Structure 1
């Protein structure tokens, strides 16, 4: 690969959306011999993971349903959880019925519901290694949305996930895009900090810049340990729009983090299974920061459109 020219300016939007190229997964299983005559559907290897995810989502929906009569303002969050269930639902089985809350059980508190959202988000990540690349990407996105729900309900923001030990010889292609995106984000936050006037926002920008520098350093160490040469930062990056004052600076910060959610959602699908939790952690952090800087919330962080239920 030719090193970048010192005069080369790369577009932030293009760099941040240039996630790892994903290949479609094909199923090599034979047709299910127990299927009815004329039914040529193939068994879905992701079905056990999907069923666990749907069961956890049903428990979460029951918690929302129990609390909604006292807290109707939770309806938008409940609607997003229902979208998660639809996207996770396997199509090769009869959809299970969402359990209703027992009338004898007192409704949970907001704090209990927040804790349940966080626990459910964590359970999504436990299945990343067992899922196909595309389902792993979806699970990481839904997990990030769950953490956003938990924070909205009053739960504190999570800590960082430790960087896994790399395996020598792992493919480096999936990680170079993430490193390039962090280079671009670091440049962007230099511009953001220079245009902010509020002391708290400037502090937030410095803290976020340090977090992206730490993430960049982690990717560089990982790539070096696998024998790859980390991509160097370009001399400069073209901004997606003019940044002339505090409002456009906060808009740029939200733009940077939103684009990074796409990069890291793609990385969850492209990275080897041991590194999926780290990519999911980065996706979650960028989703939280995008929300902090005023980006419009989405039920599926990192997805440009709402995922459709699985098909086989």
Structure 2
């Protein structure tokens, strides 16, 4: 005896086909290494994230050196810029650099770039302007770099870039006087 064809033929993709293709896609993506794993596996060289983290620590150490030069040349700025310098020291630590003493008496584990050791500007106003420019430039560069970084490092770069932008703003504002 012959069975009649089904009254209606299903249109579209069948459930079995959909599940099989989804499982195949999961197997393919589960078996491949991500970009980070591929970089770490290449001849023992540091990954993109490790290099970026080390560069960020060096950049922050350079910023600390700039603050130190400004403080040495203009001790009257200590109250105003010491908290910003301390934040830069914490950024060095967050990126894996060595913790530094409050007034840079310890030797850092990362060497600041040569441009960071430029002589301090002549006036307090110029010192603040140069610090603001350095903070702004570094914040902008970090904001661009974070786009290519993996999750946690990208979040850290974003946070430190935002802090740098805030520091640049604070350095350009006139000091506020206490209540009259």
TM-score range, shorter chain: 0.5 to 0.7
Matched, 1:49 2:52: yes
1:84–1:142 contact (8 Å) kept in structure 2: yes
Q: Which runs of structure 2 are paired with 1:193-212 in the superposition (5 Å)? A: none
* 1:48 positional shift: 2.2
The Cα shift of 1:112 comes to 1.4
C-alpha distance in 1, partners of 2:173/2:143? 18
For 1:118, the equivalent position in structure 2 comes to 136
RMSD of aligned C-alpha atoms? Answer: 3.4
User: Between Structure 1 and Structure 2, how many residues are aligned?
Assistant: 122
Contact 2:143 2:161 in 1 (8 A): yes
Q: Is the 1:31–1:43 Cα contact (8 Å) retained in structure 2? A: no
Identify the residue that residue 131 of structure 1 maps to in structure 2: 149
TM-score by length of 2: 0.56
Match of 2:37 in 1: 28
TM-score (norm 1): 0.34
Partner of 1:82: 89
Q: Which runs of 5+ in 1 are unaligned?
A: 1-24, 35-41, 157-312
Q: Gapped runs of 5+ residues in structure 2?
A: 1-33, 99-108, 175-180
Compute the displacement of 1:121 (Å).
Answer: 0.7
- Candidates 157, 162, 167, aligned match of 1:149: 167
Q: Which residue of 1 aligns with 2:19?
A: none
Greater relative CO, 1 or 2 (CA 8 Å, sep 6+) = 1
Whether the 8 Å contact between 1:117 and 1:146 is mirrored in structure 2 is yes
Q: CA deviation at 1:57?
A: 1.5
Displacement of 1:152: 1.2
Quote the offset at 1:106 in angstroms.
3.2
Q: Which has the higher helix share?
A: 2
- Per the alignment, in what secondary structure is the counterpart of residue 160 of structure 2? helix
Provide, for residues 67-106 of structure 1, a one-character-per-residue CA deviation record: whole Å limited to 9, x for no partner: 1131212111101101011111379xxx42346965x823
Q: Deviations over 1:18-77 (max 9, x none)?
A: xxxxxxx9953566756xxxxxxx944302212332232222112101111312121111
